[in-house]
Amino acid sequence: MLPQEAFKMNYSWTCPYCNQIATITDSNVSTGTHVFDKNNKSGRLGLQTQVVVCPNSKCREYVLRASLHETYSYGGGVGLTEQALTSWSLKPHSSAKPISEYVPAPIRQDYDEACLIVSLSFKASAPFPVGAYRE
């Protein structure tokens, strides 16, 4: 799923915890926007956060995402550009599929770290200048 699609309502979604396919609506999603400037070198930016809660009553896990956007003014308000400058999966932390609790913790951690490294290498080759926002 592309990051910007994650912010649209009524889409089909696969829970990364229980792997069940669900239709995500308003009742499963919470979003927030944090617009800031404070004289930063990139100008006024908007950080959007999104929480998706798995509708499966036996799971109810939550997925956290965030994305950074340029902003524009309209009618006294502030909008965020649709294309994100960069985006993050905060929970689960990477593309790692959560491993059963029965797997010993050190093995689970190694797996998570390996997936995180793959995810970071992918970001490093992204077409937009991610490095400019790393400070």
Q: What is the dihedral of CA 55, 19, 68, 11, to 10 degrees?
A: -60
The nearer residue to Zn ion, 17 or 111, going by C-beta atoms, is 17
Distances (CA, A) of 118 to 48, 75, 125: 24, 42, 11
Residue 46 CB, nearest approach to Zn ion (Å) = 29
Which parts of 54-113 interact with Zn ion (CB under 5 A)? Answer: 54, 56, 59, 61
Q: Is the peptide bond before 92 cis (omega within 30 degrees of 0)?
A: yes
Residue 53 in contact with Zn ion, rule: CB under 5 A: no
Three-class secondary structure of residue 32 per DSSP:
strand
Closest CA to 45 of 60, 33, 29, 57: 33
The nearer residue to Zn ion, 65 or 69, going by C-beta atoms, is 65
Residue 24 in contact with Zn ion, rule: CB under 5 A: no
The nearer residue to Zn ion, 16 or 79, going by C-beta atoms, is 16
Candidate residues 4, 7, 18, 62; the one interacting with Zn ion per rule CB under 5 A: 18
Q: Applying CB under 5 A, which residues contact Zn ion?
A: 15, 17-18, 54, 56, 59, 61
